[in-house]
């Protein structure tokens, strides 16, 4: 009767397939290196993207602040932001270009633009999130395979005369777990940093939208007040 502990070697040996779990362990390690490279690519790409977006958003905010009381602010904003690719500038252009709506409709319109820009900001961050979850599991899998191989060699007599070799095999297998945890921590650090940056950019979009809506509202109120004064003067005359 074959026990559960020796079932896998029994099945492989019956089929003439040599047992080499360490080779599978090495394949898992190469896969983890590939995962680390993918995570690094995403980190570099997102870092460049967010740096450019934050810089562009700051420029747009300073432009709004310096031209807030201009009479032709509508066209000035369109001229300034139409050539920019940052989500802040695109959102502001869409809000400024929108037709005049009621208060509730305007609020829903601004919210829809805000939600639409989130997909641009969240792009590729799901890869880092997946790496954070996947890499420790890959490391654990590599360690388990390495330990299975070490004990299989020990039970088959290949390592019974050299316990140090078995110990080295187990130690090598444990490297996979450490490497997986390192990849997860490395990715988690940048994932949290980018998530905070997304919140910062989202706040910029909200502030730009509120600044424009407040300016436009004050402009319409001023226009109505001016029209009322002209009408009053005409009545007095």
d(CA 84, CA 46): 18
pLDDT of residue 164: 66
Q: Please report the pLDDT score of residue 4 as a whole number.
A: 46
Alpha-carbon gap, residue 153 to 161, rounded angstroms? 11
Task: State which residues of the chain have pLDDT below 70.
Answer: 1-20, 103, 156-166, 168-169, 216-237
Between vectors from CA 42 to CA 37 and to CA 43, what angle results, nearest 5°?
95
Per-residue confidence (pLDDT) for residue 82, from 0 to 100: 79
Token code pair at residue 102: 């009621």
Could you identify the residue written with the tokens 């191989």? 149
pLDDT at 157: 61
Packing angle, helices 125-156 and 7-14, rounded to 10: 80
Count of other CB atoms within 10 angstroms of residue 9: 16
Closest CA to 215 of 58, 65, 57: 65
Q: Which residues contact residue 186 at a Cβ distance below 8 angstroms, ignoring those fewer than 6 apart?
A: 36, 39
Residue owning tokens 């993207």? 49
Return the structure tokens found at 72.
């032709």
**Residue 219 pLDDT:** 55
Q: Give residue for tokens 């020990």.
A: 154
Half-sphere exposure of 53 (CA within 13 A, CB side): 25
Residues in CB range of 19: below 8 A, 6 or more apart:
8, 9, 12, 13, 149, 152
């Amino acid at each position: 009767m074959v026990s559960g502990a020796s079932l896998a070697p029994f099945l492989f040996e019956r089929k003439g397939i040599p047992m080499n779990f360490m080779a599978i362990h090495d394949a898992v390690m190469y896969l983890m290196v590939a995962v680390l490279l993918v995570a690094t690519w995403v980190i570099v790409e997102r870092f460049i993207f967010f740096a450019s977006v934050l810089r562009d958003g700051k420029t747009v905010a300073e432009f709004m602040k310096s031209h807030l009381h201009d009479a032709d602010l509508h066209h000035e904003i369109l001229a300034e932001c139409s050539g920019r690719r940052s989500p802040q500038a695109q959102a502001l252009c869409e809000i400024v270009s929108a037709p005049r709506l009621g208060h509730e409709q305007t609020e829903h319109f601004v919210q829809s633009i805000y939600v639409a820009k989130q997909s641009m900001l969240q792009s590729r961050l799901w890869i880092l999130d997946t790496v954070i979850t996947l890499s420790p599991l890959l490391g654990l899998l590599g360690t388990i395979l390495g330990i299975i191989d070490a004990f299989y060699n020990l039970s088959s007599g290949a390592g019974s005369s050299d316990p140090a070799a078995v110990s080295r095999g187990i130690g090598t297998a444990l490297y996979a777990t450490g490497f997986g945890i390192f990849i997860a921590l490395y990715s988690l650090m940048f994932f949290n940093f980018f998530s905070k940056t997304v919140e910062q950019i989202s706040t910029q979009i909200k502030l730009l939208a509120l600044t424009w809506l407040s300016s436009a509202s004050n402009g319409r109120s001023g226009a109505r007040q001016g029209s009322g004064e002209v009408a009053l003067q005409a009545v007095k005359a």
